[in-house]
Structure 1
Amino acid sequence: LQRVDEQEAVQKRTFTKWINSHLAKRVPPLVVTDLFEDIKDGVMLLALLEVLSGQKLPCEQGKKLRRIHWVANIGTALNFLEGRKSAYRGSPIKLVNINSTDIVDGRPSIVLGLVWTIILYFQIEELTSSLPALQALSSSTSSLNSSTSSTETTSPPVKKKPLPPVQGGARKALLRWVQQIATKHLGIEVKDFGPSWRTGVAFFAVILALRPNVVDMERVWRRSNRENLQEAFSLAETELGIPQLLDPEDVDVDKPDEKSIMTYVAQFLKHHPDRQHSDSEGFPSNFAREQRKSLREMKMWLDQLERDATQAQETEGNLTQQYQLFKSLRVQLEMRRKQVEGALHSTQKDGMLTVDQALVKQAWERVSNRLLDWHLQLDRALPAPLGMVGVWLHQAEGALRQEITVQQAHDETANTVHRALEQHKVSIKAEVTD
């Protein structure tokens, strides 16, 4: 129950800011202060739909409005929505478990379900359906997961009707857009609209894809979640004019609200440089520049780590201090492993790496070998017999790596390993005997 209350509170804040960002365009502008109260008479709701649709809607107005007028206004809004057609399927919008009296009563779950439906159809669906490379996803889903259902609604519970598949399609299209233009090629894994966004890095990846010169990813990797989130929202507003719909403290939690994050992320779609003229892969025209910049930053970081490792290896200190230095640098390298592996995924038709990718690969191998040599040096310095065991383990690892390639057949590989290990056993026995 507490989780539901927290989720409703986050959605209320996000949806209110989203509504106000549109009502600010109205003449005269309107402002919603308490969503559940201000929506009851239907005046704000009809004003929002007018701004979004560009159509004039009949509305009962005045200070002496009674409940019957409120119900009429809400009914006008719901009928208007149900008369609209889905941009994905061409069929009418379905409002599941949403009725006028529940909105007039200000029932939180119903109000939020209605606003989410409006956001989904008037923003997320319309914007994603205009990306040609993503249109194939529009009919790819026939069922939805719970995070995208439009109405977590009534109490007592009622038998729910099947939900329209368009929501799953729009969600998948938005997620794929993020992955294709922003995160995949930086080695950042974004598989949902929840925990994947907690660190703030994914938001910066999207901004970087649209405005390559305003993001310093090196600083992003070093900052805390809250600092990243605040900076990303501020940067998106100043550079792209995107309202700050989210609060950092609402995103930096174990399970951020997916609908709120989708509402915010969808705003970036309006700034896709080639939204109407995407190529077959859905990449923006400046993708190559973004990728080169990211790869060069990655290489600079790896080069610096190699210099730090060299300097640390030469620094005097006892063995414990040396191990601590080694461990800290090794952890830094491992934290970037997925990012580097993602960046080395070839996007060329022939499957070859670009020059920048090849340079990153070389830099990664250099720093990896540097740390491997240092590790061996530290293990050799251990007091007997640990030092000898450490050396033996390193040699065994080398033997396992030697001459074993993907192309070799299983039997040949097994024989290679067996011969290498047998030879190693003979040499280690000789050392012990001596």
Structure 2
Amino acid sequence: MKRQEAVQKRTFTKWINSHLAKRVPPLVVTDLFEDIKDGVMLLALLEVLSGQKLPCEQGKKLKRIHWVANIGTALNFLEGRKSAYRGSPIKLVNINSTDIVDGRPSIVLGLVWTIILYFQIEELTISLPALQGFSSSTSSLDSSTSSTETTSPPVKRKPLPPQGGARKALLRWVQQTATKRLGLEVKDFGPSWRTGLAFFAVIHSLRPNLVDMERVWRRPNRENLQKAFLLAETELGIPQLLDPEDVDVDKPDEKSIMTYVAQFLKHHPDRKQSDSDGQTEEEVTRAGFPSFSREQRKSLRELKMWLDQLERDAIQAQETEGNLAQQYQLFKSLRVQLEMRRNQVEGALQSTQRDGILTVDQALVKQAWERVSNRLLDWHLQLDRSLPAPLNMVGAWLHEAEGALRQEIIIHQAHDVTANTVHRALEQHKVSME
């Protein structure tokens, strides 16, 4: 395997795992080229990133035809999305299901890069108000990098003049907010980062009190890189996607460095005022939908923080020792808290856009709600199964019934068709329980 492919494989695997860790239950990719073949991990990743539920063939006896179907579902989902920069559908160049199923390294890496670009780099760079004047492009990246996207459903925006794309926007952000102030010259996402100084400059721009640049200038490359990655992880919560030995080379891999550096954008203070602050009222009206106010965005962020805390409380409560009655009491108290917020969450997730696409903040709230709801549901099922017979069987039956009722039923114009669909679902549940 080429050195560049090996570096990308390590970086992209860590990036994927940092997102799959948010899933309930979490998943882990160990060998990217092998684990992606059946499409299960890929669809799980897209669900976490988008906040949407995707159909997936699962099971230990899946055959190649099922793998191809899963990969096809993932590719169709991506092609149905729109680039945050171009506003046009994502193009998957020379990427097809069979190549992914065969685990072809260059194709797999190309697909993952497309997802990173669409679900992270584009979305984060275009949402910076200070960059909006120069960051749009008819192509997501300029000619030096390849195809295609970033973090949850895209926010529809007024088209911007084509001037460079996501790569230039990210580089300009680094130059304007971090390196120029310290007299550093960063011209690319390759050799300019070898010494580790640029990474420290970015951290310094976000949290000046964390970095003593005088000491950084005097240290060797590897030590700087190691300390910068550790500092970013412990203080900013940014996963260590890069290894020092992969950066301290003549030609570091640009895509890997871009993937890592883009994570720092989440901590940029200006980004909190994106969307509504970045456009005038006239521009928003021309775009065809009302934008969220700063207070609405603040409310969404606070709601997500509350849901994240409730999930942590649920995890801690499950690990608390106690008899079954005490466990039920803990579960009930958390479940009541969640239900009391249901109306607030449903109201917050009402889309303001013509095409029904959620904003980034809305998608994150939706994702957090589904994650904590699923955790509590699994805990409830675990508790019911711990009951003495025959109560444990009754509990399992009730959960199966609730699952059947939660299944999404497509409403047909002909009411008898809808009625038949519901009837079949209930009959299947009845047969399975008998």
TM-score over 0.5 (shorter chain): yes
Change (3 A) 1:336 1:180: farther
Q: How does 1:369-408 map to 2 (within 5 A)?
A: none
Q: Is 1:204 paired with 2:162?
A: no
Identity fraction in percent: 91
Distance 1:212 1:301, change over 3 A: farther
Q: CA deviation at 1:139?
A: 3.1
Asked if 1 retains the 8 angstrom alpha-carbon contact of 2:83 and 2:149, the reply is no
Relative to structure 1, is the Cα distance of residues 251 and 265 closer, same or farther in structure 2, using a 3 angstrom cutoff? Answer: same
More deviation, 369-378/70-79: 369-378
- Residue 377 of structure 1 aligns to a residue whose secondary structure is helix
Which 5+ residue runs of structure 1 have no aligned equivalent? 428-433
Tell me whether 61-70 or 297-306 shows the greater mean CA deviation: 297-306
CA shift in 2, pair 1:19/1:136, >3 Å: same
Please report how far the alpha carbon of residue 7 of structure 1 lies from its aligned counterpart in structure 2 after TM superposition: 0.1
What is the distance in 1 between the residues matched to 2:394 and 2:243?
A: 53
Question: If you compute each CA radius of gyration, which structure gives the higher value, 1 or 2?
Answer: 1
Q: CA separation in 1, counterparts of 2:406 and 2:69?
A: 75
SS of 1:138 mapped into structure 2: coil
CA RMSD for the aligned pairs? 27.6
User: Relative to structure 1, is the Cα distance of residues 51 and 182 closer, same or farther in structure 2, using a 3 angstrom cutoff?
Assistant: same
Distance 1:250 1:116 in 2: 18
2:372 alignment partner in structure 1: 367
Correspondence 1:23-422 to 2 at 5 A: 23-140=20-137, 147-150=144-147, 168-277=164-273
Greater CA drift, 194-203 or 267-276: 267-276
Q: Which moved more, 1:301-310 or 1:371-380?
A: 371-380
Paired with 1:328 and 1:288, the residues of 2 have a C-alpha distance of: 33
Alpha-carbon distance between aligned partners in 2 of 1:222 and 1:416, rounded to the nearest angstrom = 70
Question: Is the 2:79–2:90 Cα contact (8 Å) retained in structure 1?
Answer: yes
Contact 2:142 2:167 in 1 (8 A): no
Alpha carbons 1:376, 1:394 under 8 Å: kept: yes
- Cα separation, partners in 2 of 1:125 and 1:304, compared to 1, 3 Å: closer
Q: Assess if the C-alpha contact under 8 Å between 1:132 and 1:276 holds in 2.
A: no
SS in 1 for 2:53: coil
Return the offset for 1:395. Answer: 95
- Three-state SS of the structure 1 residue aligned to 2:42 is helix
Q: CA deviation at 1:378?
A: 86
Per-residue CA deviation, residues 350-380 of structure 1 (Å, 9 max, x unaligned), is 9999999999999999999999999999999
The range that moved more, 300-309 or 58-67, is 300-309
Deviation string, structure 1 residues 231-290 (Cα, Å, up to 9, x no partner): 0000000110000000000000000000000000000000001213379999999x9999
1:326 Cα deviation from its structure 2 partner: 73
8 and 385 in structure 1: CA distance in 2 versus 1, 3 angstrom threshold? closer
Distance change (3 Å), C-alpha of 1:288 and 1:381: same
Q: CA deviation at 1:137?
A: 2.6
Mapped to 1, the partners of 2:27 and 2:317 lie a distance apart of 61
The whole-number CA distance in structure 2 between the counterparts of 1:315 and 1:61 is: 32
Gaps of 5+ in 2: 279-288
Bigger shift: residues 315-324 or 37-46:
315-324
Return the alpha-carbon distance in structure 1 between the equivalents of residues 256 and 271 of structure 2.
Answer: 23
Task: Give distance in 2, aligned partners of 1:267 and 1:242.
Answer: 7
How far does residue 133 in structure 1 lie from its aligned partner after superposition?
A: 1.7
**Residues 369-420 of structure 1: per-residue CA shift (max 9 Å, x gap):** 9999999999999999999999999999999999999999999999999999
Cα distance, 1:58–1:223 mapped onto 2, change above 3 Å = same
Cα offset, 1:42, TM superposition: 0.1
TM-score w.r.t. the length of structure 2 is 0.59
